[in-house]
Structure 1
Amino acid sequence: MAEKIVTGDEVIVIRGKDRGARGRVRQNLPREDRVIVEGVNIVKKHQRAIPGVRQAGIIEMEAPIHVSKVMLICPHCGKPTRVGFRFTETGEKVRYCKKCQQVIEKPALHRRTK
């Protein structure tokens, strides 16, 4: 199944403690239906020391958030929007903004090169 939100997309959080926060998707976890968004859902992790490698301490890191709790921000109209799919004249499946009907290109981070 095609992914509506991919790595590199700008999203806004619509539910939870970080409601209203914007950020870029750093990592997509499709098997878990979760995404990691920059600066959102910050948690503290207690790390044990590894001699000669790292020091023990409490670090802050971004935890995954469920994909249903974020909404894509359209790069054309700048509004949070739902995402649809349609086929172009060449038969390529593309994402589009349900508000302004413009095609949403995949970010450069997500494009595959062969």
Structure 2
Amino acid sequence: MKKMHVKRGDTVKVIAGKDKGKEGKIITAIPADGKVIVEGVAVAKRHQKARVQGQESGIIHKEMPIDASNVMRVCSKCGKAARTGVKVLDDGSKMRYCKKCNAELND
């Protein structure tokens, strides 16, 4: 298992690749491959055949996985893409924070 700097539900900005500059929410994180699926980013067309009666066939738009190193977490306070750090609190729990504005990132 690889350790990832982002997780499902985080709002991220794409910093590299064909969709550079787009923002979206992480739908799925795949730590084994080091990839994430971001809503509205890396959309590909897939031809789908109807497998059961009533299922629609045709061309569907599907988000494809991109490497986690190509995305950066967007801070909710300053609104910018920033690196994140981890602080260990007095009670032993961990908290992520924005390295630009030092704001606490709610998980």
Asked if the contact 1:96–1:104 (Cα under 8 Å) also holds between the matched residues in 2, the reply is: yes
Compared with structure 1, are the counterparts of its residues 105 and 2 closer, same or farther at alpha carbon in structure 2 (3 Å cutoff)? farther
Asked if the contact 1:4–1:95 (Cα under 8 Å) also holds between the matched residues in 2, the reply is: no
Asked if the contact 2:4–2:34 (Cα under 8 Å) also holds between the matched residues in 1, the reply is: no
Q: Give the residue type in structure 2 aligned to 1:72.
A: R
Equivalents in 2 of 1:78, 1:25: separation in Å? 17
Relative to the length of structure 2, the TM-score reads 0.90
Instruction: Name structure 2 gaps, 5 residues minimum.
Output: none
Asked if the contact 1:76–1:102 (Cα under 8 Å) also holds between the matched residues in 2, the reply is: yes
Secondary structure of 2:25's counterpart equals strand
CA RMSD of aligned residues (A): 1.4
Relative to the length of structure 1, the TM-score reads 0.85
Asked if the contact 1:7–1:27 (Cα under 8 Å) also holds between the matched residues in 2, the reply is: yes
Map 1:1-114 → 2, pairs under 5 A: 3-106=4-107
Quote the offset at 1:2 in angstroms: 5.5
Q: Give the residue type in structure 2 aligned to 1:105.
A: N
Compared with structure 1, are the counterparts of its residues 78 and 47 closer, same or farther at alpha carbon in structure 2 (3 Å cutoff)? same
Equivalents in 1 of 2:100, 2:46: separation in Å? 39
Quote the offset at 1:52 in angstroms: 0.5
Instruction: Name structure 1 gaps, 5 residues minimum.
Output: 107-114
Equivalents in 1 of 2:15, 2:3: separation in Å? 22
Secondary structure of 1:99's counterpart equals coil
Identity of aligned residues (%): 42
Asked if the contact 2:88–2:94 (Cα under 8 Å) also holds between the matched residues in 1, the reply is: yes
* Matched pairs, number: 106
Equivalents in 2 of 1:105, 1:55: separation in Å? 40
